[in-house]
Structure 1
Amino acid sequence: MSTRTTGSGVAASITASVLFAVIFLLAGLLPGWGAEEILGWRIVLTLSMLGATFPFLATARAEWRALVTRVRRRPTLILLGVLATMLVGVQLWLFLWAPLNDMAMAVSFGYFLMPLTMVLAGRVFFADRLSNLRKLAVAAAALGVAHEAFSAGGLQWPTLLVCLGYPIYFVLRRKIGFDNLAAFSAELMLMLPAAVFFILSGPHGLGADDGGMLSGAGIPEGTWGVAAIGVLGGVSMATYLLASKWLPLSLFGLLGYVEPVLLVVVSWILGETLGWAALLTYGPILLALLFLSLDGRRRDPKLLVRALENAQ
C-alpha cells in the first residue's frame, strides 16, 4: 500500500470522525423527531446525493460494473450483502437513537472500544500479528472494560452493539470484496423501503396531526437539521468507507480513536456527565490507545508522518 494511498486514508478517516460528531450533535438537538424518522430521511437524502454524483465519477461507475459482474457470477453474494446491510442499518439507527435517549455516553464508550476490537478482528480474521505493545493495549483495555462492567453491573447493550457489530461488518465487507462506495450505495438501496416506511409513519409523516412535511402549518422545527444529517451522512460514510479500504485494518482501527473523543464531547454538550470513577474506565482505554500508537510508530516511524504530510 503506497504512502499516498495511506495519506488519503488518514485524511478520510479524520474527516469522517469530525462529520460523525456533527451528526451526533444534530441528532440530539431534534426534539419531536424519532430516530427511525431521522434515519429514513438520512437514507433517502444520502442515497439521492450519491445517485447525483456517481454518474460523473469514473471510479464509481467502474465499481458498480465490477459489483454487478461479481454478483452475477456468484449470486450467493446477495445474501451476504443483505447481512452487511442489516449490520450497518442497525448501527446507523443506533447512532441517531442514542443522543435522543440519554445513551450518547454508552455509544461513545463503544466507539472507544472499537479500535481494540478492530485489532482483535485483524488478528482473528486476517492473521495480523499481535506485538508486545498490542498485547499490552488489549490488556489495558480489558482493565477498563472490567471496571465499567463491574461498576455498571455489565456493559450496556449500545456499547456492545457498537464495539462488536462494526468489526463484524467491516470484516464481512472485506472478505466478500464489498469494501467500496458502490457496495455501500447498494446497501442504502436495500434499506430504502424501510426508510420510506419510517418517514411516512413517523411524527411528521402521513399520519401526523399537522398534515406532514408540506402542510399549511409550514416546515416543522428541525427540518433543516434532518436535511443536514442526510447530506453529512453521505459524505461521512463515503469518507469512512474509503478510509477502511485505503488503510490497513489495524491503522484504520487506531485512527478510530478520534471519533469517540469527539462523541464524548458531544455527549457532555447534550447534558450527560462523567464522574471521577470514569477515570478508572477511560484511563486504561486511553493507555491502550497510546500503546497502539507507539506500536504503529515503532513498526514504521515515518509512515504516519508521511501520510499526514501527503493528506495536507
Structure 2
Amino acid sequence: MSQPSTPPASPADDARRGVILAFAAYLMWGLLPLYLKQMMHVPALQIVAHRLVWSLLLLIVVVTLLGRWKGIGAALRTRGTFGMLMLSATFICFNWLIYTWAVLNGHVLEASLGYFINPLVNVALGMIFLKEQLRRVQGVAVALAALGVAVMAFAQGGAVWISLTLALSFGLYGLVRKVISIDALGGLTVETALLAPLAIAFLGWTTLQGDNRFGIDRATDLFLIGGGVVTALPLLLFAAAARKLRYATIGLIQYLAPTLVFFQGVLLFGEALTTVHIITFGLIWTGLLIYAADSLRAGRATPVSPPE
C-alpha cells in the first residue's frame, strides 16, 4: 500500500522557515569578526586566499551532490555571463579583503557602518544604473545616510574610506549579480573558481618566501580551512531564505549582521565610540528606520509569490 504524499508547505510555514534560514545566515555574517579575530597573526590576504580555496572545494561538493553542474554550464553559455561573473568576483574579493583587514586592524565599527550604509547605497545604485524610481521617502533616507558619512569624513577623514569601500563594493557586487542569469550557488561557485587559481598561486609564493602561516599549528589550520564554511554556508542559507520570504522581510533581517558587528566592536574589542561615531550612526540609523518602514509598507502591498 503506497504511503500518502506529504502535503505542500503552506505560505505561513514557508515564511517561518525562511525567517529561520535568514536569521541563521545573518547571524553567521554578524559573528564573523569573532572568527577572524582568532587569526590575528595571519595576514588578511592569506585569510582571504584560504577562504577562496576551501570554499571552492566545499561548493564543488555541494554542486555535485545537488546535480547543478548542468544548470551552471547552461548559464555560462548565456552571452556576457562569464564576463559579468569575472567582474562580480573582483568586487566580492575586494570586499572580503577590506573587511578582513578592517577587523584585524581595529576598525570593526567602520566595517559595521559600511553594511549599515549598504542598503541605502543599493537604492542609489538602482536609481543610477537600473533607472529605478526613487521614492520620496527613500530619498530622505539616502540623504540622511549621506549626511552621516559627510560628518564622519569631515571629522575623521581617512577612517571613512573603509565604510564607503565596503558599502560600494558589496553594492556593486549585488548590482552585477542582479543582472546575471545564474543562481546564488552557481554564481558563487564560478566566482570562487575564477579567483582560486590566483589564491593558490599567492599561497604558493608565500610558502616559497617562508611566510605561509598554514601548517604552523593545528588551531590556525582549522580556522583557515573553516573559512570555506563560513564563506559559503551563510550564502547558501540566504539563498534558501530568499525563495521563501518577501524582499522587504529580508531587508529588515539584514540589519542583524551589522548590529552584531557594531556591538562586538564596542563591547568585546574595546573600540572607542566617539561623539562623531554617535552622530554618524544616529543619522544613518534614522535613515534606515525611515527606509525600513517604507520597505515594509511597500512589501505589504506586494503579493507573495509562491515558492519555486
From 21, 26, 34, the equivalent of 1:17 is 26
In 2, the alpha carbon distance for the partners of 1:247 and 1:208 equals 49
Partner of 1:298: 297
Question: Does 2:50 align with 1:41?
Answer: yes
Specify the code of the residue in structure 2 equivalent to 1:139.
A
Q: Cα gap change, 1:152/1:285 in structure 2, threshold over 3 Å: closer, same or farther?
A: same
Going from structure 1 to structure 2, the CA distance change for 1:212 and 1:251 (only over 3 Å counts) comes to closer
Q: Does residue 169 in structure 1 map to residue 170 in structure 2?
A: no
- Mapped to 1, the partners of 2:31 and 2:111 lie a distance apart of 15
Cα-to-partner distance string for 1:67-97 (whole Å, 9 max, x where unaligned): 32243352x4322221111111111222222
Please state if 1:235 is matched with 2:244: no
* Pair 1:117 & 2:121 matched: yes
2:61 is matched with which residue? 52
- Name the CA shift for 1:144/1:73 in 2 (closer, same or farther; >3 Å): closer
Counterpart amino acid of residue 114 in structure 1: N
Q: Which residue of 1 aligns with 2:190?
A: 186
Q: Which amino acid is the alignment partner of residue 219 of structure 1?
A: D
Q: Which residue of 1 aligns with 2:160?
A: 156
Match runs of 1:84-233 below 5 Å: 84-153=88-157, 156-202=160-206, 205-208=207-210, 213-214=214-215, 219-233=217-231
For 1:184, the aligned partner's letter is: L
User: Which residue identity is paired with 1:93?
Assistant: L
1:72 aligned residue (70, 73, 77) = 77
> What is the alpha-carbon distance in structure 1 between the residues aligned to residue 246 and residue 300 of structure 2?
15
Question: CA distance change for structure 1 residues 227 and 248 in 2, over 3 Å: closer, same or farther?
Answer: same
Does the CA-based 8 Å contact 1:119-1:249 persist in structure 2?
no
| Maintained 8 Å contact 1:116/1:253 | no
Distance in 2 separating the partners of 1:68 and 1:251: 32
Partner of 2:3: none
Supply the AA of the counterpart residue of 1:101.
N
One-letter amino acid of the counterpart of residue 295, structure 2? G
More relative contact order, 1 or 2 (CA 8 Å, 6+ apart):
1
Asked whether the 8 Å contact 1:3–1:303 carries over to 2, the reply is: no
Distance 2:242 2:173 in 1: 11
Q: Is the 8 A contact 1:114 1:253 kept in 2?
A: no
Q: CA deviation at 1:110?
A: 0.9
What do the CA deviations read for 1:2-58 (whole angstroms, capped 9, x no partner)?
877766655444322211232222212313211111112211221111222222215
Q: TM-score, normalised by structure 2?
A: 0.82
| Residues 256-295 of structure 1 mapped to structure 2, 5 A cutoff | 256-268=254-266, 269-295=268-294
Residue 123 to residue 242, structure 1, CA distance change in 2 (3 Å): farther
Distance in 2 (CA, whole Å) between partners of 1:36 and 1:133 is 40
Deviations 1:207-257 (A, max 9, x none): 437x9745xxx6255333223322221102323455567767666554432
Matches of 2:114 and 2:78, distance apart in 1: 37
Cα deviation, residue 114, structure 1: 0.3
Does the Cα contact within 8 Å between 1:148 and 1:154 map onto a contact in 2?
Answer: no
**Which residue type is aligned with residue 175 of structure 1?**
V
Q: Over residues 132-177 of structure 1, what are the superposed CA-to-partner deviations in whole Å (9 max), with x where a residue is unaligned? A: 3322212222221221122113663221211111111111112122
Distance, in Å, in 2 between the alignment partners of 1:138 and 1:250 is: 17
| Percent of aligned positions that are identical | 26
* Amino acid paired to 2:91: L
Aligned to 1:274, the other structure's residue is in SS state coil
Q: 1:297–1:237: structure 2 CA closer, same or farther, 3 Å change rule? A: closer
Structure 1: state its 5+ residue gaps: none
